[in-house]
Amino acid sequence: EAQVTQNPRYLITVTGKKLTVTCSQNMNHEYMSWYRQDPGLGLRQIYYSMNVEVTDKGDVPEGYKVSRKEKRNFPLILESPSPNQTSLYFCASSFQGAKDSPLHFGNGTRLTVT
């Protein structure tokens, strides 16, 4: 089954404790992206990747890191989480070659930073 898999689904952590949210897709998509969803703000892009070893900032990259060492994986790293990073996070992927290609989303990771 074609899918984007995020782990974990739920994560509670404390301020300053490094964490990684994993994302993997099995559709051979070049383009991958991370979004955060907050009430009243919709979805905002954090980082995206056009292909292996090619990443760039989205609209709200502060406090986050990403890497793209393999085509299928695109982990999101919070080196020193803070309470304002409490949010619902989504990973998404699509074919790069066509701008009409819709994004495929994972089921989300709900992060709470205390």
Partner 1 sequence: AQSVAQPEDQVNVAEGNPLTVKCTYSVSGNPYLFWYVQYPNRGLQFLLKYITGDNLVKGSYGFEAEFNKSQTSFHLKKPSALVSDSALYFCAVRDLSYSGAGSYQLTFGKGTKLSVIP
Q: How far is the CB of 53 from partner 1 (least distance, A)?
A: 16
Three-state SS at 14 = coil
Rounded Cα–Cα distance for residues 57 and 65 (Å): 9
Q: How far is the CB of 85 from partner 1 (least distance, A)?
A: 19
Q: How far is the CB of 80 from partner 1 (least distance, A)?
A: 26
Q: How far is the CB of 56 from partner 1 (least distance, A)?
A: 6
Q: List strand residue ranges (DSSP E) for 26-94, in order.
A: 31-38, 42-51, 54-57, 65-66, 76-78, 87-94
- φ and ψ of 106, to 5 deg: -75, 180
Q: Footprint of partner 1 on residues 4-63 (CB under 8 A)?
A: 4, 31, 33, 35, 40-45, 48, 50, 56, 58
Q: Total residues at the site for partner 1 (CB under 8 A)? A: 27
**CA dihedral angle for residue 109, residue 75, residue 102, residue 9, rounded to 10 degrees:** -20
Greatest alpha-carbon pair distance for the chain in Å reads: 41
Q: Choose the stretch contacting partner 1; rule: CB under 8 A; options: 21-29, 62-70, 77-85, 93-101.
A: 93-101
Residues in touch with partner 1 (CB under 8 A): 4, 31, 33, 35, 40-45, 48, 50, 56, 58, 90, 92, 94, 96, 99-100, 102-108
